[in-house]
Structure 1
Amino acid sequence: RIMAAGGEMPAQTSGGLREIGEVREALHAASNQLRAREAGEKRAAARQQLMINELNHRVKNTLATVQSLALQSLGRGEAAPGFDAFNERLYALARAHDLLTRTVWESADLAEVVRQTLEPYGDRARCEGPPAALPPSAALALSMVFHELATNASKYGGLSTPNGRVEVTWRRDPLDPRHLALRWVESGGPKLDGPPQRKGFGSRLIAASLRSELKGEAVFEYLPTGLVCALSVRLPDPAGAQALGDEPSVFDA
């Protein structure tokens, strides 16, 4: 025990004990409030995730209904040559929804959007660019754009031959972080003699998606070595243009 000067015990006032008790009770009440708040936040997060999962489930059911209606209306095979392409576009849209569901529909990393589209082509597709978060509308639009480019490349361009390749790069404008410049470059495919005589639906879909959803445009160059497509994109949400990190994403799809 600590002795006071002269060897006597210090006097303990009732006021000091009361203050200690009050502090202990205040700390206990604050701890209870903190636990209740954390429990409430967990319940809110669980409800939000449940609603997102339900929304994704209903969207997929709607897409399945659209698929069924198209099949019943158009048929398939030689009688309906466009059905398979339509079906693949629905799958691309569903995959984009899955990607956004994993982030609770807050954003999607551009690298993940590109990776998901080009994954079937393995090391024949290479992508590089700084991390950039896309708001949901931009992620959906770019998913469809890259799907159309990859489909065209697999049929007629750089991914239609065993040695063909595709490289996708992008960069942000340092003066305007909402602006993204992307390049799709094909090589090793059939030699091109110039632009096609008419634009297909895929080209029109790319132009419409960029113009309506992203206030951007696409410029196609049909070089002898392969297609080069320059995409100019302006993100609709300023917060969506913030980088997710400092290191660029580099990977073989």
Structure 2
Amino acid sequence: MNQTRVYPLPLLLLFISFAVQAHFQELIPSKDIVSDPNDTEITLDLTFTHPMERGPAMPMGEPVQFGVLGPQGREDLRPSLIQRLQDNQPAYRASYRLKAPGDYIFYLEPAPYWEAGEGRMIVHYTKVVVDGFGGGESWDAPVESTVEIIPLTRPYGLWTGNLFRGLVKYKGQPVPFATVEVEWRNDGSLKPPADAFITQVIKTDAQGVFAYAMPRAGWWGFAALVEGEQPMKGPEGQKVPVELGGLIWVHTRDMQ
């Protein structure tokens, strides 16, 4: 006989909080398109948070990698990182000046994050593409992260409602039927009507490709999730599973 299991209310609320709290590593530039040759500096904010819920932020350790793949090749940007506080938790900021026309792919490998509620470590490899002076043809170049979303739609110059397509790769190979979580970076103008609206969930097809039409202007985060093959050490030295994520951030604007 099947029996329905009834959980105490505090435990049920705990389960619900874990279910809706999707983790997103943000890598947000102050501009996604640089067109003024007299204003070429951008600021990048690095925050580990829940973007649709506007936080709270989680503590970031010192990033393992932070760099840019641009017209002049690959550049290590870790020396430019400045630690700051977001919701009283460590986060980072950096500044960068675009030097030539082309696409600039900023990428981040954060320090592993221990998620006690899930009993696992989380590592989200994250990137964002900034267009420099309309000279870019390399927006789909891979940065060769362990998990990566290769954009099949140019990830800038997008109108609200455009369809974004991406290819999920793990160790360079397409990942069929991978879970991709999608969140809008809430600016405070929207209250989700129910928890199911906080994180959109889609799957890649048999070739590892996904598509999503972005219904609102602003920054959208796409997080492709893969189970790590090798466990990591938890805070007490125990072996724990690892969630690997490949993230990309894209920006949309209303057509006016």
TM-score, normalising length: structure 1: 0.23
- Give the structure with the larger helix fraction: 1
TM-score, normalising length: structure 2: 0.22
- Give the structure with the larger strand fraction: 2
